[in-house]
Amino acid sequence: MPRKFAEIAFTPAVKAIQERYGSREMYNRMEESGPENDTLIPRLVEFIQARDSFYMGTVNENGWPYIQFRGGPIGFLKILDEKTLGFADFEGNCQYLSLGNLSVNDRVFLFLMDYTNRRRLKIWGRATVEYNNPNLLEQLRVPGYEASCERAILIHVEAWDWNCPQHIPIKYSEAQVTEMIAPLQTRIQELEAQLASIQTPNS
């Protein structure tokens, strides 16, 4: 468990609850032995680059949280350096809730899911919205993906942590299911052809 994660997530209130339910001692040991590094290590990079979606949390000036689903082609959330993520802000329903929240509070939380392998990654950071940076936007564009992109959003990573796999339902994408059943469909076609070849017309 990276120490930076514990510094951000384990507030006095959280520690008090951990103490009440008996997990504080365990997490204290994990904090003390955890790495100092909060950069995007190779394992994280590989995981992030394989995602086609994530959930992004922000907070408005009234203190209310908001979770937004962000989706796109695999790899649309890009690694810019060992501390920075970036993605093109595709046009949506024009409510601009996340943008409004980020204009008053740059703290952001990303939740990345891999349902197939029951893995999830949590990332804390601070966001910067780039409105007039065509070079950056071009860097973040996804070739062949037809979507209007007016802004770029950068996430400066503050901390990350893996979540346990408990209670994650296993789900497969349409592409994964198509790949899995392809051999079965081929075999069905072969058997149908064999059956047709031995059938004789009614006399």
Residue 56 shares a structural domain with residue 23: no
Q: What is the pLDDT of residue 38?
A: 81
Look at residues 97, 96, 76 and name the one whose alpha carbon lies nearest to residue 87. Answer: 76
Residue 183: the pLDDT is: 95
Q: How far is CA 10 from CA 20, 35, 102, 155, 203, in A?
A: 14, 16, 23, 21, 82
Claim to verify: residue 67 and residue 19 sit in the same structural domain: no
Count of domains observed in the chain: 2
Give the pLDDT score at 149. 84
| Cα atoms in the 13 Å half-sphere on the side-chain side of 153 | 24
Please list, in sequence order, all residues whose beta carbon lies within 8 angstroms of the beta carbon of residue 96, skipping any fewer than 6 positions away. Answer: none
Please check whether residue 197 lies inside any domain of the structure: no
Write down the pLDDT at residue 109: 98
- Claim to verify: residue 3 and residue 102 sit in the same structural domain: no
Phi, psi (5° rounding) for residue 121? -125, 135
Q: Could you read off the pLDDT tens digit of each residue along the chain, which spans 203 residues?
A: 788 999 999 999 999 999 999 999 999 998 888 887 789 999 999 999 999 999 999 999 999 999 999 999 999 999 999 999 999 998 888 899 999 999 999 999 999 999 999 999 999 999 999 998 999 999 998 888 888 888 999 999 999 999 888 899 999 999 999 999 999 999 999 999 999 888 766 65
Copy the structure tokens of residue 38: 């909060």
pLDDT for 148: 84
Domain match, 26 and 114 both:
no
Expressed as residue numbers, the domain containing 24 is 1-36
Residues 108 and 26 in one domain: no
| Amino acid of residue 159 | A
Same domain, 52 and 29: no
| Overall pTM surpassing 0.85 (yes/no) | yes
198 located within any domain: no
Same-domain status, 12 and 94 = no
Asked whether residue 150 is domain-assigned, the answer is: yes
Q: What is the pLDDT of residue 143?
A: 87
